[in-house]
Structure 1
């Protein structure tokens, strides 16, 4: 059995180009922030230089300058450097947080437009981990690491310039040590990115297994599959820990190489300074300043190591985010808008399904050469036994899936209501205006009244302002379905698809929900996946499906009179209802 088909991951070049494009209009401010950080780094060189001057004054026995003057200059330099550093970080954070917001919005927009079939092929956890863990990783790098990294780079460059000003041999000593850092960095960059990419992918797999178990918790408990799912989650969690441990091991070895290079360079500087002072080529103060310059590089070099480590993880996460956002301009994103494009020439709710075959990923065909034409304004009920392909047909018409072969033409303005209704945390008004944000309260109350849900308003003490959902007033399954039908009425689409949207069979609410369904279907084309034949009988036309094929198609009276499969189903339905009526 093959694993899930992961969502794409962008290359490093593509990630860089996407970030550069997202910075359009804000690049100048980012450059200005970098210049301020460079100024802060330059001011930090003042203290070692002044300390070296003090050493020379003491060595020469001169008292030309009072010590308090040096102290004042050092204090002023520290204060100015701190102020510029804070300003640079604030400006950079302003730009980078907007960049992050742009990337996050593009990710969410693409994810919402992505065909459900594509999400199912990759596993829900893969997409969720990109929208949560990967965004958090990039957020940390953008808000904390990049401003600090720019300052560290400027510190290293300016320190090198300061060493050359003291004596060219100090500068050459530092340049001679650059290969040590370069080889350490090259070794790290070669090993780290694949480890971080594998770690992020392991996060996605773990999220997929965890969400699968939670989403189907009732089934897991009913079939006593808790142990099996726990093992899957544990193994995926161990995979995350394994990749994380490997990454931390490489990080530790990198730090050891950086420290070793620093010790070697500092020792060389001490020997060079000793020789230059002995030859009267530089003063003791100059040698002291050179050593202090190198000592103050230890923090930036160590910080550079940590920042590069974070950037490697962030780069892997960024590539996963860009891989999703790029779907907005590729064929996968075209799948999401295919229904809208194919709807040209299908005004007023007209639907045409032509020779459609469909199979889920890695499976056999569940629909076989299905053709169906629904004129505008007609209500069609699709009936059949479980597994006949009714829900799959509804998903194809709604544009959730694309047919393997054949074509599906449906209106752009199509709305699907299924049995699984999601209630968002918020007020009743918030949940209703999802369908049409500009609808006023009067129209909301009218819609609730028309579908027979006015009693819900009476239950809620704050009316439309009452919080509902997990953190608010709890709703029954019937009330949730009522709410979904109200959303459809408010949205007023050309085509309404009800996939067992009133599945309160056998309850006191069944008749009420059926009447609500009739109200929302008035004046529009409707496709009803009916679980009760009484719903089908109320429609203009009935399509009977079995094993992915259309067996019968006609009005209720015509199909009953024909004495075929539907007639037998109708007879069985009435026989089962008789004892209860």
Structure 2
């Protein structure tokens, strides 16, 4: 048996001693390996809240059951073939060498090499197949989760903690990959190896096997116990290091230094840092001493075990006529049984950690979409849509709110006309826009386009019918060309330039060194806010929707940028049913109809002149707001 340098990191391996099992790197939740593991309390809570039936996990592997069966067969075959090694050693030591039988010696030596080669080859094939199965299962699961989450409403993402979705889709799924490709095969290999090794030990010497049964359990318990102590110390070190890094990041950042100086907390911050650093000194001392004590204890234990075996083999009462070859073969087997036994001791913790990962991912797969997909979608050709928009008695209350965001609201927007929605903040204007594009569904009533309930349209069809330009335009971190092609993947370059020209941004893009292939940067930071808005308008023009929603598209812009963008929006609105939501009343005075909302209710509607003359709520908004001017350009 080969003793690896990592088996004895602090001292040379003593002659004839069985090498202690290495303590693997512990990876926290879901960590795997043969070293000491404890069940994470968070995993217990996760499984208590969302238990996972084993049948559901096994169902993931059903399409790959042939490969899984082959992997299991290879594990068993590899374990059995490897057991031939000590018997070959016994034959060489007891027969071939003493009797100078060259032929037998060549056969046994060749057999040893063949055993090593076959087990390694089987290991390569096993790794290849298990990794392939794991990758395929993870690919299918990752894709299923991503696709399912895309069906969730916008409300799901607003109420879900930032980073939680990404964590489950990446960290948890990647952790499950380790479960699929390593943990399951490791448990199977450990179990097979432990059983086969002990059977071989019994075949060689039942007396020494009984002695091993007395010695091995306490040795395993001591090894695991010391490893758990060291793991606890390492965990404390990691927490303190994380705290130290957090203090460095906050205390030495520009904002942190400014805060400390303005509040006079520099001295307290330094004292806190000193205390954390001081704790790390003690933890490092404990860690090093625990490591030395661990190695010292294990060196003694693993020196005692072969010594007792040699003693039993040498005493006439217990030897049973044992040969030297049998003794060598037995000690080799006895040394190899520790690693799989330690692995089996961790099976419970590995199982809980693994099932907790599946539980977290299945939780997302089991989410019922707030906006269900239509069971019988209406076939609608966007090119034939007239654009008649109606809200019929619509009511919507957000979760946790004490009043309706929109209450019993009815609006009629004939095809090709323009409707402006105005009102104070919180009056329900953006809620109306979100229902039109089906980011929200009403609790009562319905929203229709050409008499068809938007809930009966598939999302791609609805997106091609209703286009929206909002205050917060979003550009993907890629080129201008790719951002535009999101609207129409098959659009030729000439149409891209026509859309940019209509959005008053063609000259800007043409002046860039890379033109359409200019990378916009994260969230479009390469361009100003107004330029981003105009690129978003160009994208909507390219989609050519018959219904257009302008949700406060210019409210955050300066006057000059607003004028340029307003010209682009006017170009975009021509010939379409347009619903404009605005705080600046000057942008809506020429609308065919203006609807005034307050606390989700329609309080008055009419043209600009009619509403001003009526002296109602709209007239009050005009009086307290900016002066109403004729639209620019």
Please give the range of the TM-score, normalised by the shorter of the 2 chains. 0.7 to 0.9
Compared with structure 1, are the counterparts of its residues 170 and 505 closer, same or farther at alpha carbon in structure 2 (3 Å cutoff)?
Answer: same
The structure with more radius of gyration: 2
CA distance in 1, matches of 2:209, 2:197: 9
- Measured against aligned partners, the alpha-carbon deviations of 1:477-536 in whole angstroms (never above 9, x if no partner) come to 011111222222233445433221233443312122223223334444433221222332
Matching of residue 320 in structure 1 with residue 355 in structure 2: no
CA distance in 2, matches of 1:322, 1:276: 62
CA distance in 2, matches of 1:491, 1:301: 64
- The TM-score with structure 2 as length reference comes to 0.68
Partner of 1:4: none
What is the number of residues matched between the two proteins?
519
CA distance in 1, matches of 2:147, 2:334: 49
| The one of 128, 132, 140 aligned to 1:94 | 132
Structure 2 unaligned runs (5+)?
1-45, 226-254, 277-282
Matching of residue 72 in structure 1 with residue 72 in structure 2: no
Asked if structure 2 preserves the Cα contact closer than 8 Å seen for 1:277 and 1:284, the reply is no
**Higher fraction of helix:** 1
- Measured against aligned partners, the alpha-carbon deviations of 1:336-355 in whole angstroms (never above 9, x if no partner) come to 335x5698599755343424
Asked if structure 1 preserves the Cα contact closer than 8 Å seen for 2:51 and 2:359, the reply is no
Compared with structure 1, are the counterparts of its residues 10 and 376 closer, same or farther at alpha carbon in structure 2 (3 Å cutoff)?
Answer: farther
Matching of residue 62 in structure 1 with residue 99 in structure 2: yes
CA distance in 1, matches of 2:571, 2:175: 48
Shift of 1:93: 0.7
Compared with structure 1, are the counterparts of its residues 493 and 22 closer, same or farther at alpha carbon in structure 2 (3 Å cutoff)?
Answer: farther
Shift of 1:298: 1.8
| The one of 258, 267, 278 aligned to 2:318 | 278
CA distance in 2, matches of 1:177, 1:355: 77
Partner of 1:29: 67
Partner of 1:527: 579
| The one of 91, 109, 126 aligned to 1:53 | 91
Partner of 2:155: 117
Shift of 1:271: 8.3
Partner of 1:500: 552
- Measured against aligned partners, the alpha-carbon deviations of 1:15-46 in whole angstroms (never above 9, x if no partner) come to 64444333343221232233223333333223
Q: How does 1:207-286 map to 2 (within 5 A)?
A: 278=318, 280=320, 283-286=323-326
Asked if structure 2 preserves the Cα contact closer than 8 Å seen for 1:88 and 1:147, the reply is no
Partner of 1:297: 337
CA distance in 2, matches of 1:276, 1:117: 80
CA distance in 2, matches of 1:181, 1:533: 82
Compared with structure 1, are the counterparts of its residues 505 and 301 closer, same or farther at alpha carbon in structure 2 (3 Å cutoff)?
Answer: same
Q: How does 1:524-563 map to 2 (within 5 A)?
A: 524-563=576-615
CA distance in 1, matches of 2:306, 2:355: 32
Partner of 1:470: 522
Matching of residue 575 in structure 1 with residue 627 in structure 2: yes
Shift of 1:383: 0.9
CA distance in 2, matches of 1:536, 1:273: 100
Please state whether the residue corresponding to 1:124 is helix, strand or coil.
Answer: coil
Partner of 1:337: 372
- Measured against aligned partners, the alpha-carbon deviations of 1:432-465 in whole angstroms (never above 9, x if no partner) come to 2223333332322222222222123213222222
Partner of 1:484: 536
Compared with structure 1, are the counterparts of its residues 436 and 318 closer, same or farther at alpha carbon in structure 2 (3 Å cutoff)?
Answer: farther
- Measured against aligned partners, the alpha-carbon deviations of 1:106-130 in whole angstroms (never above 9, x if no partner) come to 2222222211222333323332321
Compared with structure 1, are the counterparts of its residues 151 and 438 closer, same or farther at alpha carbon in structure 2 (3 Å cutoff)?
Answer: farther
Shift of 1:474: 0.7
Asked if structure 2 preserves the Cα contact closer than 8 Å seen for 1:93 and 1:147, the reply is no
Asked if structure 2 preserves the Cα contact closer than 8 Å seen for 1:51 and 1:285, the reply is yes
Partner of 2:393: 354
| The one of 378, 384, 392 aligned to 2:423 | 384
Asked if structure 2 preserves the Cα contact closer than 8 Å seen for 1:505 and 1:532, the reply is no
Matching of residue 430 in structure 1 with residue 482 in structure 2: yes
Structure 1 unaligned runs (5+)?
1-7, 188-216, 239-244
Asked if structure 1 preserves the Cα contact closer than 8 Å seen for 2:52 and 2:358, the reply is no
RMSD: 4.9
Pick which of 383-392 and 21-30 moved more.
Answer: 21-30
Matching of residue 420 in structure 1 with residue 458 in structure 2: no
Please state whether the residue corresponding to 1:553 is helix, strand or coil.
Answer: strand
Shift of 1:78: 1.3
Asked if structure 2 preserves the Cα contact closer than 8 Å seen for 1:383 and 1:545, the reply is yes
Compared with structure 1, are the counterparts of its residues 94 and 393 closer, same or farther at alpha carbon in structure 2 (3 Å cutoff)?
Answer: same
